[in-house]
Amino acid sequence: MRTLHQILHEVQKHRLIGILRKLPVDRVEEVGKALFAGGLRLVEVTLDSPGAQEMIERLRALSDKWYVGTGTVLDEASARCAVLAGAQFLVTPTVSLDVIRTGSRYGLAVITGAMTPSEILTAYEAGSAMVKVFPAGSLGPAYIKQVRGPLSYVPLVAVGGVNAANARKFLEAGCVAVGVGSSLVTAADLASGSFDAMRENVSQLVAAVS
């Protein structure tokens, strides 16, 4: 079992979390192989995806050299489902103290979604390993830089509207990592089965954050 500290180390090392939302269960292994081949080492399956638990299990089985977490974790019950499915870290869209406590109970890193400085500090002081600034694309890298003035000790992950063109700017503003979803696995590539395109998308993102 990966420890909380191992997950934190990997997030800070690779600086990129792929977000998979509402993929067909029967395509998740092909997608996973393409993303892994492109260099992705941390992936998050959102719990609002039909068959999310099965997808987590399938992705975990692909390799022991990457980390599979669960996103859109809204409450304690959802967190427990993610744990039972084998998730190695939890990601929330909002500040949920119940999810933070549940993650801590099972030794999982929790990346809590927040926007304002008050929310960021509340999440971190409650035990969140990192704080996801969302929606980062709307707030911009300048917002990250300003927030880090008084909260420089809080590890931030930019999510929402992040892509290969702006990922580096968020890291330069002070984020330890970025989370990327729609520009990683596009609807068009998924519909056409363009797994080579997915692999290339990951390669570009990996290059952008390296």
Catalytic residue, candidates 54, 65, 125, 132? 132
Longest dimension (CA), the chain: 47
The Cα 132–Cα 162 span in angstroms is 12
Q: Has 10 been annotated as catalytic?
A: no
Catalytic residue, candidates 30, 33, 44, 76? 44
Strand partners, 44: 19, 69
Give the C-alpha distances (Å, rounded to integers) separating 27 from 32, 33, 192, 195, 207. 9, 10, 12, 10, 26
The single-letter DSSP state of residue 132 is E
Strand partners, 112: 131
180 closest CA partner among 155, 147, 157: 157
In degrees, to the nearest 5, what angle opens at C-alpha 26 toward C-alphas 20 and 27? 50
Strand partners, 130: 111
Phi-psi label, residue 193: left if phi above 0, alpha if psi -120 to 50, beta otherwise = left
Q: Has 13 been annotated as catalytic?
A: no
Catalytic residue list = 44, 132
